[in-house]
Structure 1
Amino acid sequence: MQFPQIRMQSQMALVGINSTQGKQTIQQPEAELSIQQPKAEVMINRRPPRLTIDQSQAWSDMGLYGALEATERNAQEGEQAWLQSIAKKSQEGDQLMKIEQDGNPIASISKNNAYEPMKEFNVGWIPSHFSVKTDYDPGELNINVKRNEPIIQAQPQKPVINYERGQVETYLRQENDLQIDVEI
């Protein structure tokens, strides 16, 4: 005996998906930056060095004098020579006044005046030791520096973000189906 048979044939539903991806762009503009560096303020105060050389003693030792000193020395030497001349003439006068005493004063005076005394020569142009005096003042130097801080101004920029949304679309690509057959 044959039994009836049921035959089933099914087909599942299929879902289809169409999607477009989202897009995102990010741009970061550069920050606006301003840097200024003021110059440092430098102040220099100085007292210049000073070198003093006094060689008047050396010149004096060599017989070379300045105008004022030479005039003064010549005046003193002239006065001294004048006083010596007066003393000599006075002495010669005293000798002549006493002519009656023994001796021959005229011959003696003539003999003394006939010849000049021998001149002495000595190396007189070498100055004495340490006759040149020096004095040195090194001066002074003061440097003051005032540094100025840099002026920095920064303006940050916000990022520019663009976003396009993606889409997802679903649809039924294949419908479900069920077929039932009965066979005898």
Structure 2
Amino acid sequence: MSIRQPQPDIEMTTTPTKIELNSPKGELKIDQDAAWDALGVSRRETFNARMASEGRRIAMEAIERIAEKGNRLARIQDHADVIADFAAEDAFTGNGVNYLGDPSYNNVDIDYIPHKVETEVTPGSVDYRATPHYAEVNYQPGKVSFYMQQYPKVEMIPPQIDLKV
């Protein structure tokens, strides 16, 4: 008897997995208003608000200086050159208007807003088809022939006896 089985025929087709990534651009926001303000090139609203507050401050300082000068004039008997001192002080003082913002290394604000990556996965597949082959069996009935190769017999051979006496 002989048995043989051929390998099956296999057909395999694959559909690849598809991955789609969509990465929207992030947003970069740069606010440099404080830097421009420190350079004196600010927006009108900021400039006008600063000038209004500076005007109040200058007016209050002027009232304070006038009151101080009046007090010094009231004590003119202590110092005779009070008016000359006033002229010398006013000659070397500026108006004191500050129209610039505060200079700083941190005047530019940078804000980055990243967006999430959108991932879409389409799964792939594998189509697997196998065609099996049946076993091939060959059977040939055998024949038995028997015969007697040798018939049973017993033969006894005695040892040789020495007959000389």
Alignment TM-score, normalising by the size of structure 2: 0.47
Structure number with bigger Rg: 1
Alignment TM-score, normalising by the size of structure 1: 0.43
Comparing both chains, which one has the higher relative contact order based on Cα–Cα distances under 8 Å and sequence gaps of 6 or more? 1
